[in-house]
Amino acid sequence: MSYNVGDLVAEFLSAIGVTTVFGIVSVHNIPMLDGIGRRNTIRFVMARGEAGAAHMADGYARTNNSLGVVFSSTGPGAANAVPGLVEAGFAASPVLHITGQTGTKFIGRGMGTAHEVPDQIGMLKSVGKAAYQILNAPQALGILTQAAIAALTPPRGPVSIEIPIDVQRTPIERPAALDSLELILPGPLAPSAAALDALAAHVRQAKRPILWLGAGAKQAAIPARALLDMGFGMVTSWAGRGTIEEDHPRNLGGLNGNGVPAVQEFYATADLMLVCASRLRGHETAEFSVKLPANRVQIDIDPTAEGRTYPCTMFVNGDITLVLAGLAERLKGWAPEPGYPEAFAAMKQKARAAFAASLGPYETFPAQLRAALPRDTVWARDITINHSTWGNRLFDLFTPHDSVYPIGAAIGAGLPLGIGAAVGAPGRRTVIMTGDGGFFLTLSELWTAVQDNVDITILVMNDNGYGVIKHIQNALYGGRNFFADLMGPDLEKLAALAGIPFWRIDRAEAFGSTVAAASKAKGPSLVEVDMTAIGVFPPYAPYDKKRE
With 90 as the cut, is the pLDDT of residue 501 above it?
Answer: yes
Q: Residue range 486-502: average pLDDT?
A: 96
Instruction: Give dist(CA 359, CA 232) in Å, integer.
Output: 29
SS (H, E, C) 325-358: HHHHHHCCCCCCCCCHHHHHHHHHHHHHHHHHHC
Q: What angle do CA 21, 22, 28 make, to 5 degrees?
A: 100
Of 321, 95, 341, 88, the closest CA to residue 220 belongs to 321
Report whether 485 contacts 465 (CB < 8 A): yes
Q: In degrees rounded to 5, what are phi and psi of residue 82?
A: -55, -45
What pLDDT is stored for residue 112 in this prediction?
64
What pLDDT is stored for residue 267 in this prediction?
97
Instruction: Give dist(CA 519, CA 503) in Å, integer.
Output: 11
Query: Residue type at 92?
Result: A
pLDDT tens digits along 263-278: 999 999 999 999 999 9
What pLDDT is stored for residue 283 in this prediction?
86
Report whether 280 contacts 292 (CB < 8 A): yes
Other C-beta atoms closer than 10 Å to the C-beta of 329 total 12
Instruction: Give dist(CA 290, CA 305) in Å, integer.
Output: 19
pLDDT tens digits along 520-534: 999 999 999 999 999
Cis peptide before 542 (omega within 30 of 0): yes
Model confidence at 68, pLDDT cuts 50, 70, 90, reads: very high
Of 407, 435, 416, the closest CA to residue 87 belongs to 407
What pLDDT is stored for residue 344 in this prediction?
98
Q: In degrees rounded to 5, what are phi and psi of residue 315?
A: -130, 135
Model confidence at 547, pLDDT cuts 50, 70, 90, reads: very low
Question: Kind of pairing, strands 209-213 and 233-236?
Answer: parallel
pLDDT tens digits along 335-388: 999 999 999 999 999 999 999 999 999 999 999 999 999 999 999 999 999 999
Q: Which residues, in sequence order, are CB contacts of 265 under 8 Å at separation 6+? A: none
Partners of 274 in the beta sheet? Answer: 211, 297
What pLDDT is stored for residue 111 in this prediction?
56
Q: Which residues, in sequence order, are CB contacts of 459 under 8 Å at separation 6+? A: 431, 432, 433, 434, 515, 527, 529
What does DSSP assign to residue 190?
A: P
pLDDT tens digits along 312-324: 999 999 999 999 9
Tell me which H or E stretch contains 222. Answer: helix 221-230
Burial 191-212 (b: 16+ CB within 10 A, else e): beeebbeebbebbeebebbbbb
Query: Residue type at 303?
Result: P
Q: What ranges in 339-466 are assigned the alpha helix state H?
A: 340-357, 365-372, 385-386, 392-393, 414-424, 436-441, 446-451
Of 450, 432, 419, 456, the closest CA to residue 384 belongs to 432
Q: How far apart are the first and last CA of the chain?
A: 72
Report whether 131 contacts 162 (CB < 8 A): yes
| Strand stretches in 186-304, DSSP E | 209-213, 233-236, 272-276, 296-300
Model confidence at 250, pLDDT cuts 50, 70, 90, reads: very high
Mean pLDDT of the chain: 95
What pLDDT is stored for residue 166 in this prediction?
95
Burial 153-166 (b: 16+ CB within 10 A, else e): bbebbbbbbbbbbb
What pLDDT is stored for residue 495 in this prediction?
98
Higher-confidence residue: 189 or 108?
189
Q: In degrees rounded to 5, what are phi and psi of residue 197?
A: -60, -45
Which domains, ranges and CATH numbers included, belong to the chain?
5-175 (3.40.50.970), 193-352 (3.40.50.1220), 358-534 (3.40.50.970)
Lowest mean pLDDT among 65-69, 299-303, 543-547: 543-547
What pLDDT is stored for residue 548 in this prediction?
39
Of 522, 373, 511, the closest CA to residue 449 belongs to 522
What pLDDT is stored for residue 149 in this prediction?
98
Q: Is 330 exposed, middle or buried (0-12, 13-18, 19+ CB in 10 A)?
A: middle
pLDDT tens digits along 132-160: 999 999 999 999 999 999 999 999 999 99
Give the CB-side neighbour count of residue 88, counting CA atoms within 13 A. 41
Q: Residue range 188-212: average pLDDT?
A: 97
Of 423, 393, 420, 417, the closest CA to residue 405 belongs to 417
Model confidence at 546, pLDDT cuts 50, 70, 90, reads: low
What pLDDT is stored for residue 109 in this prediction?
66
What does DSSP assign to residue 537?
A: P
Q: What three-state secondary structure class fits 97?
A: strand
Q: What three-state secondary structure class fits 137?
A: helix
What does DSSP assign to residue 42?
A: S
Give the CB-side neighbour count of residue 77, counting CA atoms within 13 A. 26
